[in-house]
Amino acid sequence: MTQVARPPRTDTGQRRGLAARVSLGRIFTPPSNEFVLIASTALLLTVFGIIMVISATSATESGVMDTAIKQAMFAAIGIPMMFLVSRLPIAFLKKMAWPALILATMLQLLVFIPGIGVENDGNRNWINVAGFSLQPSEFLKLAIALWVAYVLLRKRVLLGIWHHVFIPVIPVSLLAIGTVMAGHDLGTVMVLVLILLGCLFFAGVKLRLFIIPVLLGVVGVAALAVLSPDRMRRISAVCTDMTNYENDCYQSIHAVWGMANGGIFGLGLGNSQEKYGWLPAAANDFIFAIVGEELGLIGGLVVLALFTFFAVGAFHIMRKTTDPFVRVAAGGITVWIIGQALINIGVVIGIFPVLGVPLPFMSQGGTALLAVLLACGVLLAFARTIPAPARGKVTR
């Protein structure tokens, strides 16, 4: 009997098997502490927000189920997308910086097209598509953070020269932010300016070069305020007494009353009194007042603690990363989410005038929730790039 000679083994099969094992190893690699911290806080805040939106809208005529289903639907879309974006390579995110900014700006320009753009309380910052209201400026926040980080990455050795810092960052950013300014949305403009300044700061730009961007931002915000009599009246209103109760201070006073009624332990979930027609936008910009009324000081501190843990995870990414793009983009996203949360809470407790800025993760609004979950996905993608020694591995 003759034996058939076997072909000699090559290293190709071995290399393929090794590549497969390495690929599987990357998939099942335990996530970093920063990944777990950001993902868990984002999920907890989202679920917490859905519960509070259901509670805040339970007294509305439209019915709680319609609102709850819409909010839960956007969460059901945004959470998987968050984890999907977390698997994207950093090189792909860099390539998408310019297309994302262009696409987001084009979407924002749709608000000025009759029949598509929607105006609400003097602000033209929404579009109506197939019965759904979308706010394109929410996606512009993420696009600006990625784009500025990408441009500053390519100029990282020239950041000590002012014109290399400002061109094209400042003109292009102002052009994109100008599309929101044209819609008279002062709160969103302030957040976008914060993102721009945050990116410049975490890029290591010298503080003396911040003078021009800060002045431009102040001039822009002041122009928006002065050119709108309604907005100027709200900004100049003093809400420390009852003389302006039925006018500009109505929302602020009722928000403070609601939180005062909550005390330390709150009135109980679902037992808010302000949501019964007393507090406008109870499920939107003033959701934190409902949290304070129903869950008390403890509930408010829990929300603040979750945002604090989120910030800690994001700052750890910035501290441990070796990629300037990751550091700058993560800084811009963190300034966006944490800064917007502080502005919203400041409005609710009466520190700031009413600016129309939602509380990230928690306020009613599908576009805002979807955008912030996508931004969290980018942060999670950054968390996967943290070098192994920085993940707490013990070296011998």
Residue pair 357/343 in contact by the 8 Å Cβ criterion: yes
Band of the pLDDT at 231, cuts 50, 70, 90?
low
Judged against a pLDDT cut of 50, whether residue 396 lies above it is answered with no
pLDDT of residue 19: 46
pLDDT of residue 394: 44
Question: Who wins on pLDDT, 22 or 136?
Answer: 136
Judged against a pLDDT cut of 90, whether residue 216 lies above it is answered with no
pLDDT of residue 120: 76
Task: Report the percentage of the chain scoring pLDDT > 70.
Answer: 79
Judged against a pLDDT cut of 50, whether residue 172 lies above it is answered with yes
Compute the distance between CA of residue 307 and CA of residue 37 in angstroms, rounded to an integer: 11
CA-to-CA dists, residue 45 to 4, 94, 214, 299, 341, angstroms: 66, 28, 32, 12, 12
pLDDT of residue 20: 43
Peptide bond preceding 360: is omega within 30 degrees of 0, i.e. cis? no
pLDDT of residue 22: 40
Q: Where are the domains positioned within the chain?
A: 32-386
Q: If phi over 0 gives left and psi between -120 and 50 gives alpha, with beta otherwise, what is residue 210? A: alpha
What stretches of the chain show up as alpha helix (H) in DSSP?
A: 11-27, 33-56, 64-85, 90-95, 97-109, 137-154, 162-166, 169-181, 186-202, 211-226, 229-236, 250-262, 287-320, 324-348, 366-383
Question: For residue 43, which amino acid is it?
Answer: L
pLDDT in tens, 84-111: 999 999 999 999 999 999 999 999 999 9
Judged against a pLDDT cut of 80, whether residue 16 lies above it is answered with no
Please name which of 139, 187, 145 lies closest in space to residue 371, comparing C-alpha atoms: 139
pLDDT of residue 237: 60
* 62 HSE (CA, 13 A, CB side): 11
pLDDT of residue 293: 93
pLDDT in tens, 139-166: 999 999 999 999 988 776 666 666 667 7
CA-to-CA dists, residue 386 to 138, 145, 394, angstroms: 27, 20, 15
pLDDT of residue 11: 52
pLDDT in tens, 180-205: 988 888 889 889 999 998 998 898 88
Judged against a pLDDT cut of 50, whether residue 24 lies above it is answered with no
What does the mean pLDDT of the chain come to?
A: 83
Most confident of 167-176, 267-276, 288-297: 288-297
Q: What is the pTM of this model?
A: 0.86
